[in-house]
Chain A
Amino acid sequence: MSRSVFHEALRHLALLLILFAVLSPLLWLLLTAFKPYGELFNNPPTILPEAATLVNFTEGWEIGGGKGIMDSLIVSSISTLICLILGFPAAYALARRFPPHGQLSFTILSLRMMPPIVPVIGFYLLFQELALFDTYTGLIIVYTFMNLPLVIWLLAEFMRQIPKSYEEAARVDGATWFQLFRDVLLPLSLPGVLTAGILAMIFAWNEFLFALVLTGDAVITLPKALASFFLFQQPNWGQLGAIGIVAFGPLLLLSYYMQRLLIRSFSIELGGR
């Protein structure tokens, strides 16, 4: 018994050491966000900030972080909303009227596999023609295109778990399509809608290449704002770190939820057959 406790402790120790090594670049960035400019380029570097400061957070917001957060919020939330509005009815049709793992689901999902560098040139030329270059509308269209296949597929997977009898009962009671949607389908598939929505939001929030190529000075999302700091030889790492923490740190809170979701999906997809 005590031997197995010892082994368990050893494994925890190994995991903690690996975890520390893996996360150390991120921890370093976290510490850097609190260092004043003068301390950034010390050689050898200071581990803990000697004169800890919050100035990077206020400056980071002013030099582009604030604009970046606003633009990213606009583009990712609107595109996510459109994905859900277009995707919900399509997913319902796919779940109820087509076999699982059929040709149509596969075709829709395969769009997701395309590397973004392939459509980006086509979009660039098209957007020049349609005056959509460097507009919110343009980027929203592209992010909707990028996320819609996954949203449809995920929602359809969730809806297949809902028993048909609920809808049939509602129809027998004479419910209209809208009532069926509002009172039966939406509440029952809410976890699926939330999951698909969160994923679409994260992907749009993190996206870089489309934003880099398809926008100029009017629309500057977070990843693009951060990348623009790299034009300088010695970027202000403190400001970069501060923006990074504020803009991307909250996503990490979803990590627990995400590993559950992923383990469950892969178990269902591969083990359930």
Chain B
Amino acid sequence: MTDIAPTLTISRPPAGERAKREKAAERRSTMILLAPALVFLTLMSIWPFAYLLYASFTSYQLAIPIPIEWVGLDNFTKLMGGARFWSSLGITAIFALVAVPLQILAGLGLAMLINSISRGREIYASLFLIPMMLAPIIVGFSWNLFLNPIYGPLNALLRSLGFQPPAWAQSPEWALPTLVAVDVWQWTPLVMIILLAGLRSIPPRVFEAAKVDGSNRVQTFFNIILPMLAPYMVVAFVLRFIDSFKVFDIIYILTRGGPGTSTQNLAYYTYDVGFSRFQFGSAGALSIIQLVLLVVGTTVILSAVRRRSAAGEGGSR
């Protein structure tokens, strides 16, 4: 808006009145263009959210025909008093704070390796992208079959080598590490591609200058590559952190939250409470807790990043 208005007034000096009218017309057309999408998005955010909010403060249970009562914060306090809430919170945290850093490490290694070859980079990048392009449901059942303790190929191979492999997704100790590994498998490609974009942004003369200065490989990595990739790694981390709250499909297919409740993250716990037990009051409260956690977590990370990058820029100048 601001960049059009001055040219109008300058090119037609006497027409202050007309410029004003044109500006009003432009504002109107902007509204007309935006309205359909914004009305749809607003309606579809607020309307279901109103139901969610209402449910979370009542004793809403679909299967049981009891009158719905206003229970205030009961759903929230009951949840927070239960062990299952805290264990599912812990599992969500493991996906966010263990799986995501592993993805960054693996993605960095892969991106460096692909960037170091001179031919066929794009072909490797395309092939390594495959796990991320697939539906999570396919990822889930490929791994379910691959890791099957009886007729799966991985355990057959390990047994033939003389190991005694665990039952992976079905074993109490290995179920969670298995899910984390599958999540890392699926999302390392995204980190890889972001860091490849980062590596491509480093001009070759930077490396030449480093070589002239007698910097060895390790020094070049820590003093040049890593700092220049830092903004890309931050973006990868934030994107993956936000998405780590969404992990659901692979849990549903590989473990159903089990054995017991050992692999239920907040998303799966919410689904279980809402759609196996039809306790929409508690499920609604759980949803709202997740929303708050995600907003707070993202804000904290983003503000930390902004502060650090501001400090970094101040220091280098």
Contacts and interface: CB of A to CB of B under 8 A. Distances in A.
Interface of A: 8, 11-12, 14-15, 18-19, 22-26, 28-29, 32, 40-45, 47, 86-87, 89-90, 92-94, 97-98, 108, 111, 113-119, 121-126, 128-129, 141, 144-145, 148-149, 152, 202, 205-206, 208-209, 212-213, 222-223, 226-227, 230, 237, 240, 244, 248, 251-252, 254-256, 258-260, 262-264, 266-267, 269-271
Contacts of A213: 271, 274-275
A252 B128 CA distance: 11
Contact of B51 (A40, A90, A122): A122
> Interface of chain A, helix or strand or loop or mixed?
helix
B151 A19 contact: no
A42 B145 CA distance: 13
B196 A263 contact: yes
Given A117-B271, A255-B133, A266 B48 contact: no
A173 to B, nearest CB: 18
B271 A123 contact: no
Contacts, number: 249
A264 B151 CA distance: 43
Interface string B183-196: 00100001001101
Contacts of A251: 133-134
B284 A144 contact: no
A273 B192 CA distance: 21
Contact of B136 (A43, A149, A206): A206
B271 A15 contact: no
A56 B224 CA distance: 53
B130 A252 contact: yes
B212 interface: no
A115 B151 contact: no
Nearest to B236: A266
B218 interface: no
Q: Across chains A and B, which 8 residue pairs bring their CB atoms closest together, nearest first?
A: A122-B48, A206-B135, A90-B37, A122-B52, A266-B197, A93-B33, A25-B146, A89-B33
Interface residues of B, number: 93
A242 B266 CA distance: 33
Contact of A266 (B50, B156, B193, B270): B193
Given A25-B146, A121-B284, A262-B197, A45 B290 contact: no
Interface centre among B62, B129, B284 (most CB of A within 10 A): B129
Nearest to A264: B197
A121 B44 CA distance: 13
A94 B34 contact: yes
A118 B232 CA distance: 28
Contacts of A223: 135, 137, 249
B309 to A, nearest CB: 12
Contacts of A237: 145
B138 A43 contact: no
13 contacts: A28-B153, A32-B145, A117-B246, A117-B270, A122-B287, A123-B48, A125-B52, A125-B55, A149-B41, A237-B145, A244-B142, A270-B197, A270-B235
A124 B17 CA distance: 52
B40 A97 contact: no
Given A25-B142, A28-B142, A116 B246 contact: yes
